[in-house]
Amino acid sequence: MISGGGTGGHIYPAIAIANAWKEEFPDSEILFVGALGKMEMQKVPEAGYRIEGLPVAGLQRSLSLENLKFPFKLLKSLMKARKMVMDFRPDVVVGVGGYASGPVLFAAQRKGIPTLVQEQNSYAGLTNKILAKRAKRICVAYPEMERFFPANKIAYTGNPVRKDILELNGKREVALKHFGLEEERKTILILGGSLGARTLNQAVLKDMKALDKAGYQVLWQSGKFYFKDMLEKTDASGLKHIHLREFIREMDLAYAAADVIVSRAGALSVSELSLVGKPVIFIPSPNVAEDHQTKNAMAYVSHDAAWLLKDNEAVGKLKLKVDELMQDPAIGIALGANIKSLAKPDAAIGIRKELEQLVA
């Protein structure tokens, strides 16, 4: 049983773990448990797995009537999770983070079923810190996680990512053709996540004429919340080398085309970019719990494996940072080599091996 979700950063590692397990044990039965109304309820079935939903939801940061419903949703989810665990009778339960993880792992631990927590970030979330006390194993993506978890339970496996990210060699020509990019122009890839990042979009808008004039081309994922507005503004600009997309599904091709990557610092993005091995400028979101995106980014910046541009400085400084990288190719080569040295390409297999020990 695999529980959690809410964002791609939780869902895609969960699916990668399931795929790794299925490859080794094809006759196994796997049940996902997610939060009703969240993206896992669509993405998991698309990946070929069964999923059931809990009514659990998080507390709103602002004053909201929805917060009055929180205790009732949590109680209902705990009862439903207990029934799911009793009916499915899993040999092991994995929690990848997100609202559904808490009730499911809590129910499994109460029944004496071994549980494994997969923490994607460099700063552990509150739910995982609580669940880890009774978990048998904690798989982490960053070193020095003994600050949050018992050292004897930790396995440094890395974050599982999609397999196509591991195979970029020879794809550049196909990638340029796919996105309508020009061979002679350097490509800047802008990634703000599937929903989009306001600051990154505003930064590109501010500098897009200068980037175009400097001879760059931009492959820009704006996210669904901002796409319509960005499309109107880019169409009005008449710039031919700003290639806007709402969402990029062919991420392997996008990475293959890129010379420099500008990205938020969500856990999954950081893990993917370490495998890509190209120069990265992280612009961490300040709107996340415990500022964990900045902590994710700094784990790489401190090893000279990426650059950091603060969110409140990004608008107006994006091109300056890109120029610095482009004007000294040696810096980009060093950043790419350093970030790749921190990669964990076999994370899903490592987690599967930890699970095997728990059910042996």
Q: Which residue has the tokens 């806007």?
A: 244
Q: Would you say 7 is a known binding-site residue? A: yes
Q: How far from 145 is each of 122, 150, 160, 258, 345, CA to CA, in Å?
A: 7, 9, 17, 32, 19
Q: Is 349 annotated as a binding residue?
A: no
The reply, when asked if residue 193 is annotated as ligand binding, is: no
Cα–Cα distances (Å) from 278 to 25, 294, 329, in that order, read 35, 19, 11
User: Is 248 annotated as contributing to ligand binding?
Assistant: yes
**293 among annotated binding-site residues:** yes
287 annotated ligand-binding residue: no
Burial class of residue 150 in the structure, from the number of CB atoms within 10 Å of its CB (0-12 exposed, 13-18 middle, 19+ buried): exposed
**Of the candidates 100, 104, 135, the residue with the CA atom closest to the CA atom of residue 117:** 135
Is 219 a known ligand-binding residue? no
Distance CA 241, CA 259 (A): 15
Q: Is 249 annotated as a binding residue?
A: no
Q: Is 302 annotated as a binding residue?
A: no
199 is in an annotated binding site: no
Among the listed residues 57, 53, 58, 60, the one whose alpha carbon sits nearest the alpha carbon of residue 36: 53
**Residue 272, annotated as binding a ligand:** yes
Q: Which residues of 117-140 are buried (b: 16+ CB within 10 A; e: fewer)?
A: bbbbbbbbbebbeebbeebbbbbb
Of residues 141, 125, 124, 133, the one with CA closest to residue 58? 125
Residue 9 known to bind ligand: yes
Binding residues: 7-9, 121, 162, 194, 248, 267-272, 293
Binding residues for UDP-N-acetyl-alpha-D-glucosamine: 7-9, 121, 162, 194, 248, 267-272, 293
